[in-house]
A and B are shown apart, each in its own frame.
Chain A
Amino acid sequence: MGEELKVIVFALGSEEYGIEVDKVRTIERLSPITRVPKTATFIKGVINLRGVVVPVIDLRGRFNLTETATTENSRIIVVSVADIEVGFIVDSANDVIDIDTDTIDLPPEIVGGIKAKYLRGIAKLGEGRLLIMLNLSEVLNKNEIIQLEQLEV
């Protein structure tokens, strides 16, 4: 048995993803988003999170998946990694589960169109259920955004 890891499970399309619970500050329903001009398209804008202005990213857009309209189930998962606080728009937030770190395998090259560098690994939950663990520091890598900004200009 490896270490126990508590993760928040959320969905994008038919895939299930996981983020360590200690990186998650809060899960919110969708609130009005203020667009921020001249940024990457996946940055939807900023929201007022109880007095704090927090940027919001469409996780589908971040992974180059086709963006879909938000629904009643859509949620904003606010994560906080190394001083950076960002909200992810996800299709739904489903569960909090414990997983055994031993069950996490290295990710294959590509998962549903997501590059391997964004992934920490894939956890097998049994009954054919797979959980894609995100590599948050890579998802929030700002260098990539800067490149995108330059492309747009």
Chain B
Amino acid sequence: MDMNAYLSMFIDESNDHLQSLNENLLRLESEPEELSIVQNIFRSAHTLKGMSATMGFEDLAALTHEMENVLDLVRNSKLKMDSFIFDTLFKGLDALEAMVQDIVDGGTGKADVTSIVESLQIILKSDYSASKATQAPTVAANAPSAAESSASGAMLLDEFQSSILLQSIETGHNVFHIQIAIRDNCLLKAVRAYMVFDLLERNGEVIKSDPSVQDIEQEKFNFTFTVFTISRLQQEDLQAQLLNISEIESAVVTALDAESLAVLGQSNAAAAVEVVEVAETAAPQSEAAVTSVEAAKGQARSAPAASTPANVSKTIRVDIERLDTLMNLFSELLIDRVRLEQLSSEIKRSDLTETVEHMARVSSDLQSIVLKLRMVPVDSVFNRFPRMIRDLAKSLDKKIDLVITGADTELDRTVIDEIGDPLVHLLRNSVDHGIETVEERIAAGKPETGTIFLRAFHSGNHVFIEVEEDGRGIHHERVLKTAIKNGVVTADEAKLLTPDEINMLIFAAGFSTADKISDISGRGVGLDVVRSKITSLGGNVTIDSAFGRGTKFSVQLPLTLSIISAMLIKLGSEKYAIPLSSIVETGIIRKEQILQVHGNKMIEFRNTIIPLVSLSKVLDSPDFNENDELETEIVVVRKGEKWAAVMVDEFIGQSEIVLKTLGKYLTNIKAISGATILGDGYVALIIDPNALIK
């Protein structure tokens, strides 16, 4: 079987399971008594283990196996979850994620997980000693794991092996499933294992062992192994003889009949999990192993509904590159459409105009479909935050609830890819500087658990993402003090600032270079990076804060980055595009309206004085100079709260343009963010208004 064909499926499914593990563990942490969550976790872990073993990712399978063992005890109420177990399981999960990521990156998924495995085994052992004291025969204590491994063993039995076993049963031979555990202080476990195999071979035939015989010979096993064997001996005899071998901790011998074999033969992983679960409920009796398999068989039949995936959504996964190609081809079409529209308006023939208009309608429908194809729910970004908040809160000794709403809100994939880091910054900030410690909260008369709301919603052509918390709010005086100290504003300027402007100061570049962030009560580190990232995406971020009651960051993002509305303008013979999202207004000014302030040109616009930027100077325009004009067209653009008027030669009009990069050779061109191809085939550069405003 060519495993590569299944690799992408494996990766997708592993990620789904890891995600569900993460979510369920978090849920379990808030509701530790809810055993049904443990069942879900166990199921995911078990499936993941089966999948990785099938794909040959041994380390992944081994670690999941250990985690599963711990979960198994929890599920049977033999172990109570505590913070050590949670931490260990989360660590295990991180390691699993890293391994899957390694596989994604083309690696082998190998990793050194000994320390985690050790922790897990410590958890296991501390419990085993307790349960052994109450349950005399070691067989009983091990029954659940025997049943479980018989289920996992089932996945390892191939058709050939199960048919041999089946034939043996039909011809009246005894077929056993044996689970051997060697004492963990045994020095030469391979020798003991050899003695077991020797015994079995003398009395019959070993059909299958897990791990394989070679691995066992090389001591590549963890004190336990599982064997399917055909034997002349009876069940009791075999067990007695096996236990006679020294340093054997336990030997669980389970007789198999045709029906139980049929159940075991089902290689469906989900079904196998069902088997285990029912086996577990039947396990408490001493001879659990036999009955469990039989009980399992009954359940497995009645449970197919539960083992099929609950919601089969009618979707297909599409390679993102194909979508990009579709998008590129579509943009070509869009360019031709604009060209056709131009031609038809020049030629003025009604049937041509009608055809072009119809084509324009169809293509705009097509455009919205193509764009929708690239839409991904923000959930794919949000889903890593609960875990992050948990870890952060834990390390800072705070109590925090994260409430997520609107995770199904969709955004273009290109935006999704970029938005993760800024959100991480904002959330970290809320945890670190927003939410108070438990003591502070109690002193302030607030509930000891702080709440962070993470919301996403659509509004018009934009998506809003809000991070709001009920923490301490922004302390204006301290922010001002820091801002003045770092030279972000002067003391005189500071007096004139409105509360909103003071809030925005924490986004200033100089602010974050302050000394240790912990001595500022406000916020700081990296927020300037957050803002520049969001603005580079064509978005905007604002702050709303009430001292003592909390702070809200509101991020506004465009739905897509590939096609934007822009104003096309002319400077002499050259054409440029200015993104509509940063245009406030267009207008005309006369020469005498231009004011000189400290040698800089300014104009009065809506009762404020804003700078006047000469685009022809910024772009070294070869054949346009606004000084020759008596009246000049202006475009008022904004960057956050700052405005500026940009002088242009002539407006061409508003148009949908397709963003193109300038390629890897031309990077960091000042004031130019990209290019687009106009209807006439010419390339027009796209102006980056942010670069025009200081």
Residues of A within 8 A of B (CB): 32, 34-39, 43, 45-48, 51-55, 83-86, 140, 142
Contacts and interface: CB of A to CB of B under 8 A. Distances in A.
Interface residues of B, number: 29
B665 A35 contact: no
Given A47-B683, A51-B677, 4 more contacts: A34-B682, A37-B671, A51-B328, A53-B675
Given A36-B685, A37-B669, A46-B675, A54 B663 contact: yes
For the complex of A and B, 7 pairs with smallest distance between CB atoms? A34-B683, A37-B619, A53-B660, A53-B675, A38-B670, A84-B664, A55-B665
B681 interface: yes
B231 to A, nearest CB: 65
Nearest to B675: A53
Interface of B: 328, 331-332, 335, 574, 618-622, 660-667, 669-672, 675, 677, 681-685
B685 A140 contact: no
Contacts of B622: 35
Contact of A39 (B666, B681, B683): B666
A136 to B, nearest CB: 12
A53 B677 contact: yes
A34 B671 CA distance: 15
5 contacts: A35-B574, A46-B675, A53-B663, A83-B664, A85-B664
B331 A51 contact: yes
A142 B665 contact: yes
A32 B335 CA distance: 17
Contacts of B684: 34
Contacts of B574: 34-35
Contacts of B666: 36, 39, 43, 46, 55
A140 B665 contact: yes
A52 B664 CA distance: 12
Contacts of B661: 53
Nearest to B573: A35
Contacts of B618: 37
Nearest to A38: B670
Nearest to B674: A53
Nearest to A47: B683
A36 B665 contact: no
Nearest to B664: A84
Contacts of A34: 574, 675, 682-685
A85 B685 contact: no
A39 B664 CA distance: 14
A60 B70 CA distance: 72
B208 to A, nearest CB: 51
A51 B335 contact: yes
B148 to A, nearest CB: 51
Contacts of A45: 683
A85 B664 CA distance: 7
A120 to B, nearest CB: 20
Nearest to B670: A38
Nearest to A87: B665
A38 B620 CA distance: 8
B665 to A, nearest CB: 5
Contact of B683 (A37, A46, A86, A142): A46
A142 B662 CA distance: 14
A8 B619 CA distance: 36
A43 to B, nearest CB: 7
A32 B682 CA distance: 7
B414 to A, nearest CB: 18
Nearest to B621: A37
Given A47-B683, A48-B681, A51-B332, A36 B669 contact: yes
Contacts of A83: 664
A52 B683 contact: no
A52 B328 CA distance: 9
For B328, B331, B677, the residue with the greatest tally of chain A CB atoms inside 10 Å of its CB is B677
Nearest to B660: A53
Contacts of B681: 32, 48
Contacts of B328: 51
Contacts of B672: 36-38
A85 B677 CA distance: 17
Contacts of A38: 619-620, 669-672
A46 B662 CA distance: 8
A50 to B, nearest CB: 8
Given A34-B683, A51-B677, A86 B660 contact: no
Nearest to B332: A51
Contacts of B663: 53-55, 84-86
Contact of B665 (A37, A52, A84): A84
For A36, A43, A53, the residue with the greatest tally of chain B CB atoms inside 10 Å of its CB is A53
A141 B422 CA distance: 33
A74 to B, nearest CB: 19
A53 B335 CA distance: 13
A86 B665 CA distance: 7
A36 B675 CA distance: 10
Contacts of A52: 660
Contact of A53 (B619, B670, B683): B683
Contacts of A84: 663-665
A1 B618 CA distance: 56
